[in-house]
Amino acid sequence: MKNIIKLLITIIIFYYLFQYIDFNELKNVLAKSHGGTILIALLLQLASTYLAAYRWRAISELLVFKEKLSFYVNSYFKGAFFNQVLPSSIGGDAVRIIDLTRKGYEKKDAFYGVFVDRVVGLVGLLVLNLLASIIFFGTFEKDFSLLVIFISSSGIAGFALLFHLDKITFLSKYKGLDLFYRLARRLNTLYADRTLLYKHISISVGVHLLSVLVLFALADSININMNLQTFLIAVPPVFLLTIIPLSLAGWGIREGAMVGIFMLVGADETKILAMSILYGILLIIASFPGSYQWIKSKKAT
């Protein structure tokens, strides 16, 4: 039922978009895209996934998980495959947790490692967006830029505050609030050396920078002539919105957000929609190595 609702939301959003965009023109834009540039975008996406897997391994090592990098890469690609191709009740994060528990690790520790990886990844996205919005202030209208700066800085401040919640001991006495208390304690234990935290956030910035470059390359493949700084500001908010699990694999939400944000700088709506669709297809193709790992793991059980 949950996936049916997501499918309906996806269809409704695309139906709304196609009311304002010429479908035949969209097909022509997609048909004229440059294959060589799309291949570069695919390689950048694969590199982004690989770097994200490396970050997960670095975090897991702090939890004394002793697996080779290849395990984390294979599991990350498998998780991406579940997210992009197999819309089910088992998401990519759940797949990664299951992979760790099959190695004999405690389910709670496996969940914690994946959760921290997700949070650090999100902080990296906020840092990238904040820096780009400040450095290239004026690329978008002032109100939009200030909104992006406010959201990014608030998210980063909230993450920083989380490290201090273990000092508020009364939180541990209330159900629900005790989760934040315990999380703060574990984070402070995990990142007793703050340089490790900054290192992992820096890796996350690199992961998302590669993803932005993917879209920049796809834009070039369909002759969207916009500078990189525009993408550095516009793309992260789209990624933030697609985190909300309202549609299938972010389809529809991503396209609507892309069109809406890039319209603020006068971009062609049809080309932006084409770029977003190409990106969605590219994510599916880039997740195919995970299908092999999934089939391989099924045969092993």
Could you report the per-residue pLDDT of 222-249, keeping only the tens digit for each?
A: 989 899 999 999 999 999 998 887 777 7
Residue 125, token pair as written in the block: 């996205």
- Residue 262 in this model has a pLDDT that exceeds 90: yes
Domain boundaries, the chain: 2-11+34-300
Lowest pLDDT segment from 174-183, 204-213, 234-243: 174-183
* Selection from 9, 120, 104 nearest residue 66 by Cα: 104
pLDDT for the residue 86? 67
The sign one gets for the Cα dihedral 162, 164, 170, 172 is: positive
pLDDT class for 53, splitting at 50, 70, 90? very high
* Selection from 211, 212, 222, 213 nearest residue 35 by Cα: 222
Residue 209, token pair as written in the block: 């920078």
CA dist., res. 202 & res. 200, Å (int): 5
The single-letter DSSP state of residue 249 is G
